[in-house]
Amino acid sequence: MRNSQLLLSTLIACAVFSCKKDNLSGAKAQYAKLIVGTWKAYQQNTKVYDLTSNELLKDSTVNFTDANAGRAFTEIYNTDGSAYITAQTRKLGTTVATTDTTSYLRYTILGANLTLKQSIGGTETKPILTLTLTDMGLQSLRTGTLNEGWGLDVSASYRIVQGTYYTRQ
């Protein structure tokens, strides 16, 4: 009898703990709803690492304000899974404003990852750093070369980690 009570209490405890969800899982479930809308980039942090030693070589942050305001871009996510990345709006004369759409995308969210698929091919998955009603942070991870402005060997490949932060418009 005592063994069956011990077995029963163990099974009940396992059932209770297996049903417990972490606090983040509820937030992740809301990501698909929260991302819908227009997001304007306000900051981008880029870290460049050596591929062999993993040493941090460069750490640069650009705020898209003042002198860099023209470099800001907007990302638009629609409920149907379509997305657009646009350049900064600029004026053409006194009454007309225009913007260039640089990418037409399809997006999906799985857990804390945003996957963007270009209509002309190519897919990128970006970890979601933060996503609330007002703020979003996405991370981009890649291996590649850099231009001369970084002051590093332009023929070498590096690990590049980029965090971009947005506010809802």
pLDDT recorded at residue 90? 56
What's the mean pLDDT in 67-80? 90
**What distance in Å separates the CA atoms of residue 67 and residue 96, rounded to the nearest whole number?**
23
What's the mean pLDDT in 28-34? 85
Question: Does the pLDDT value for residue 40 go beyond 50?
Answer: yes
pTM: 0.76
Which amino acid is residue 41, in one-letter code? Answer: A
For residue 121, give Cα distances in angstroms to 73, 104, 106, 107, 145: 21, 11, 11, 13, 21
**Contact, 73 vs 138, CB < 8 A?**
no
Question: Does the pLDDT value for residue 8 go beyond 50?
Answer: no
Residue 14: helix, strand or coil by DSSP?
A: helix
* Structural domains present in the chain: 24-168 (2.40.128.280)
Question: Does the pLDDT value for residue 72 go beyond 50?
Answer: yes
Q: Which two tokens stand for residue 39?
A: 């997001």
Residue 45 pLDDT grade (very low, low, confident, very high; cuts 50, 70, 90): very high
Mean pLDDT of the chain, nearest integer:
82
**What distance in Å separates the CA atoms of residue 37 and residue 35, rounded to the nearest whole number?**
6
